[in-house]
Structure 1
Amino acid sequence: MTDLTHHQPTPADPSPPADNHQPDAETGSGAIGSATESTATSSPAARRALLVASGAAFMSFLDLSVVNIAFPAITRDYPGTAPTTLTWVVSGYAVAFAALLTPAGQLADALGRGRVFLTALAGFALTSLLCALAPGADWLIAGRFLQGGTAAFLIPAGLGLVLSVTPPARIGVAMAAWTAAGGFAATVGPAVGGALVDWFGWRSVFIINVPIAALLLVAGLRLARGDQRQPHGLPDLFGTAATGLGIGAVVAAVTQGQQWGWGDWRTLACGLGGLALLASALWRSRSHPRPAIAVGLWRSHSYALVNAVAFVFGVTMFAWLLAGPLWLDAVWHYSVLESAGAMTVGAVASMVTAVLAGRAPVSWQRWLGVLGALMFAASTLYMSTDIWDATPALWKAWIPAGILGGGGIGLLITVLGTTAARSLPPQRFAAGVGMNLTARQSGGALGVAVLAAVFAAHPAQPLTAFHTLFAICAGIAVLAAVLTALPARTQEPIA
């Protein structure tokens, strides 16, 4: 159950996969090619931009995978910190990423994509170092918030760079290659993370970002030269703040509700206040020229539906991905390397089904998405039964669940990406990627909070907590299947 949040030939992921049937930049129809297609006709600038942007995507998506693997070791290093508090190591990254993604793209346009991208690279390296050197849990959580914020700038600035220097006929190939970098990160994440944690400790999963970012910075220095700015003003700062604070407050209410009490004024204040802030951000985004949330894209009914599914499925997927290494560590007492090997099962299954879904006819896509959600629901429902107990059962329990769950993720995430790509014109694809990631990361932050709340409700009964969590995940996955099955209204893509 590796972290496929941002990922799969699609994840973290952690992004929607390139669409083998995405509308062509010139004709509005036809295939866009595959990631293996030659890029010999591209300019050196386009190849450099694609290489550096794909490297940054690989780094940020890999960081999500390895942090999930490192989480049990992190909890042991901070025994005085409540487990519910430590879940902010995962959800803090997701909250900052989701809140800043859209305004980050607007700032990249206004200030220069190359400059913003290189600055974000340096910031990602520095915040990774802060996480690695954190003397306490509070410092680590703060570092993860900052790291998520810098990652939010990396994605749209990097995609914008690629799209700005890539010939229109090659955009599909470039997007497939960029997406494949995330898929590769998700596939190798368990092995890399397990080896780093086992040999050097959990801090190494953050330190490894520093040399990678340094190499990308050197390779990308030319990208800032000749930067073109689009001085259309700053994004909606109030809406951005309201989005981040709103998501964070709702997550805090769910995370701490069991500890504070669900009727406690703090829980109610965070929950209701967070929803009010999110409502105000959405309201402002309807009319603001540079909104914090790209609600204008939702004029496409099929794209709006994709984002709804991404949010709902993000809840169950993030919870499942974090619960996997926790189960292996706390219940079956696997070593870090054993856990990494076990979690690779889901990653490989996801990669295989993602490739198959990407090659399937367009008419099959919606039902493949439904199948993927139901496969995930079956996996989590199976994990909620008494077959999953304190006795390790790799072949009887883990591998069937990993194949079902990982395979379901690969199918559904690929379908969501291809549907999103068909719903938007090519010039809005980067914005569409960002909005889809925002929906999934927001749902993911809520999913980690659900995990924390369930564990807090059963502090002395780990098996009960895990079984309850997996049952909840199954129910949410069924809801995602229902939403995926809904037919989109026939309409023209938005301008």
Structure 2
Amino acid sequence: MTDTTQRQPLPDAAAPPTPAATDRPARLALLVASGAAFMSFLDLSVVNIAFPAITRDYPGTAATTLTWVVSGYAVAFAALLTPAGQLADTLGRGRVFLTALAGFALTSLLCAIAPGADWLIAGRFLQGGAAAFLIPAGLALVLGSTPPERVGMAMAAWTAAGGFAATVGPAVGGALVDWFGWRSVFVINVPIAVALIAAGWRLARGEHRQPHGLPDLLGAAATGLGIGTVVAAVTQGQQWGWTDARTLGSGLGGIALLTLALWRSRRHPRPAIAIGLWRSRSYALVNAVSFVFGATMFAWLLAGPLWLDAVWQYSVLRAAAAMSVGAVASMITAILAGRAPVPWQRWLGVLGALMFAASTFYMSTGAFDATPALWSAWVPAGILGGGGIGILVTVLGTAAARSLPPQRFAAGVGMNITARQSGGALGVALLAAVFAAHPREPLTAFHTLFALCAAIALATAVLAALPIRTQEPTP
């Protein structure tokens, strides 16, 4: 063997990087991207806990209008997620990621100081738009800096950050609202975002931009306006009248705008909606299941804190503790589902949907009445519902990834989140419509809503039972 211990490379030689040097940027990207995912998904759960307090702070604003605090975030997120990922490729993933972090901090501050409901709703739209840039840019940073053999572990860590946020969200949100008021759930984002910017500042240094054109901004606008106007028709339909010109105009106008967005996406080189991915029938089916399940899941997650506050008169901290039951169950079942063999995934998805259907059906019965029944009613329903969510979301995310080639993984995950958020916006609108139909009968309103959630969950189970062919990653 040749002795190489004294051999020195030339100054300009392209010596291979050491493992430590290779791992350092990958670990940094994973750290800040996971932190951003934690912050954005935490914001979803803490706002649900804070929602009853928000409604009390704005007594002059109709409850149907205030549901836009939740659905506005979902609409903006769903509309901008795909073009945000494309813009990150064009302008630089690190630059877009850090700019989105700063935008998320500023829009959170706007929500915190909102003098009226209109300002708060506007802030939530802007915050959802900033989150739409955070997620794909952060995910692209992770995938771009992680060695191929470690991508699976990195994605598991990134996904776990979002799951952990959903788990601790009720407790964190409840404590913040009880001690400092609902505005604190937005203020908390500011120091987190600043810390992530400081930690990830080096990610944009020396970054090479890819020679891509700009995404279809007109298509993105049509997508957002289309989803928003359909949601508005469902939200306000009971108040305006289902045959009123405003309701029909909003619904038909939204459908027309979404049709325009789909038409442009078939022709634009960088479309607002990644319909090219839908050529895989399995992937299209996964997104259909995500859309349908998103509607019932978002409605249930918002209805829970409202029930505990309005019907059982729970304090914020007690409500947060009760909501944690489902969150913990979701985390446990998500971990178990993630470890399950691939052939089991399809039927696990059906099981998750049926568990959720059983939970919501149980909540629509007389077992849930004006008398608090935490251990005999709420805890079993929370375990079933949260456990079903953990299973189904994990299974759908896995199926979305496996039904596409590996190079389309990031786009596929992003589109799957878009489908769930779009369905979620309609689910919140459904909640608003049901409550508007029974303004003086809260028990009837909640029981009706939970029965509808159960029916939608059963439809989810039927869709999930359809065969999905998975495509294993190839080298």
TM-score by length of 2: 0.94
Matches within 5 A, 1:83-122: 83-122=63-102
CA distance, structure 2, for counterparts of residue 401 and residue 241 of structure 1: 39
| CA distance 1:162–1:456, shift in 2 (3 Å) | same
Unaligned residue ranges in structure 2 (runs of 5+): 1-18
Give the CA RMSD over aligned residues: 1.5
CA distance, structure 2, for counterparts of residue 449 and residue 129 of structure 1: 26
CA distance, structure 2, for counterparts of residue 332 and residue 494 of structure 1: 53
CA distance, structure 1, for counterparts of residue 32 and residue 334 of structure 2: 24
What's 1:198 paired with?
Answer: 178
Residues 300 and 494 of structure 1 are in contact (CA less than 8 Å); yes or no, is this contact kept in structure 2? no
In the alignment, which of 190, 199, 213 is matched to residue 210 of structure 1? 190
Q: Shift of the alpha carbon at 1:490?
A: 7.8
1:347 matched to 2:342 = no
Q: Shift of the alpha carbon at 1:162?
A: 1.2
CA distance, structure 2, for counterparts of residue 320 and residue 426 of structure 1: 34
In the alignment, which of 66, 70, 73 is matched to residue 46 of structure 2? 66
In the alignment, which of 285, 288, 297 is matched to residue 305 of structure 1? 285
The farther-off stretch of 364-373 and 228-237 is 228-237
Matches within 5 A, 1:127-142: 127-142=107-122
Structure that is richer in helix per residue: 2
Q: Shift of the alpha carbon at 1:426?
A: 2.1
What's 1:333 paired with?
Answer: 313
Any idea what SS the aligned residue of 1:81 has?
coil
Matches within 5 A, 1:68-467: 68-467=48-447
Max radius of gyration: which structure?
2
Amino acid at match of 2:96: V
CA distance, structure 2, for counterparts of residue 208 and residue 481 of structure 1: 37
Residues 77 and 129 of structure 2 are in contact (CA less than 8 Å); yes or no, is this contact kept in structure 1? yes
CA distance, structure 1, for counterparts of residue 21 and residue 440 of structure 2: 62
CA distance, structure 2, for counterparts of residue 110 and residue 363 of structure 1: 38
Aligned residues, how many? 457
CA distance, structure 1, for counterparts of residue 80 and residue 428 of structure 2: 19
Residues 296 and 453 of structure 2 are in contact (CA less than 8 Å); yes or no, is this contact kept in structure 1? yes
CA distance, structure 2, for counterparts of residue 206 and residue 179 of structure 1: 22
CA distance, structure 1, for counterparts of residue 422 and residue 98 of structure 2: 26
Deviations 1:293-344 (A, max 9, x none): 0111111111111100000000000000000000000000000000010001
CA distance, structure 1, for counterparts of residue 410 and residue 206 of structure 2: 21
| CA distance 1:383–1:116, shift in 2 (3 Å) | same
Residues 236 and 433 of structure 2 are in contact (CA less than 8 Å); yes or no, is this contact kept in structure 1? yes
Any idea what SS the aligned residue of 1:290 has?
coil
- What percentage of aligned pairs have identical amino acids? 85
Any idea what SS the aligned residue of 1:43 has?
helix
Deviations 1:170-190 (A, max 9, x none): 111111111111111111111
CA distance, structure 1, for counterparts of residue 78 and residue 196 of structure 2: 24
Unaligned residue ranges in structure 1 (runs of 5+): 1-38
Residues 299 and 494 of structure 1 are in contact (CA less than 8 Å); yes or no, is this contact kept in structure 2? no
Deviations 1:387-434 (A, max 9, x none): 110000001110010000001111111110111111122221111111
Asked which structure has the greater RCO (Cα within 8 Å, sep 6+), the reply is 1
TM-score by length of 1: 0.91
CA distance, structure 2, for counterparts of residue 81 and residue 474 of structure 1: 29
What's 1:11 paired with?
Answer: none
